[in-house]
Every structure is written in structure tokens, then in C-alpha cells.
Amino acid sequence: MFSLTSSFRYYLYREPTDMRKSFDGLSGLVQGQLDRNPTSGEVFIFINRRKNKVKLLRWEQGGFILYYKRLESGTFELPQFTGNAVSCQMSWPGLMLMIEGISIEKSKQRRRYVTNNFSIIS
């Protein structure tokens, strides 16, 4: 099924990525730079230097899926990275705001009950 939902974990790679990379090249970045398993089912996000292209890589039973978006004008606003982190975990709402071009600079997420690990996000 070709779909992404809030049930997945999303990881944004910090470094600008060559958008000529496809399944194998991006999988190599996931293993070599992020030190994660590309077949884990997590979604890995890559942005080019100009911040006008994004690729999302995800393993689904039977093979990889690659989502690709190119903006005709404007750029993607990226979240702040802490220290020298190679990647940051993004939330589904944060990813959707980034993809849709909505500035997240002054937004604040309200506390919600989370069922996957029975905790409250504050």
C-alpha cells in the first residue's frame, strides 16, 4: 500500500543529499550515516542543498518505496538539529507542515495521550 501515516517513525537526514541517489544510494546513507536498518519500516527523509526537493524512503513488505517531491518555487523549512546530530526524528504533523510549506517556527503542540507507549507528550 502506498501510504504514510502517523504510525511510522520519521528520520530527517541532516546533510544535503544528491537527489540523483535512488533506492540503493539512499539505503547506503541510512546504514552508513544514520546507523539504522533501512528495512526497519521507518521512513527516512532526505533534502537537497537548495531545499526544494525531498525524498522519503521506506521499506514495505517486498521492497522499497520512494516518495519524491520537487517544489516549483520556494523551499522546505527544516527543523532545528541539536548539536552535531546526523539526523532528527520528526513527527507526522511536523513532516506534513514541512511538506505543505507551513512555518512551524511559532507553533506549539498541545499535550496529547499517546497509545503506542502509554505516555503523555509534554
Q: Where are the domains of the chain?
A: 10-121
Find the angle CA(8)-CA(60)-CA(101) to the nearest 5 degrees: 45
pLDDT at 26: 97
- 20: confidence class by pLDDT, cuts 50, 70, 90: very high
pLDDT at 121: 45
Average pLDDT, integer, range 43-61: 95
pTM comes to: 0.83
pLDDT at 2: 62
pLDDT at 115: 64
Please, which residues have CB within 8 angstroms of residue 52's CB and are 6 or more apart in sequence? 70, 71, 74, 75, 76
Percent of the chain with pLDDT over 70: 86
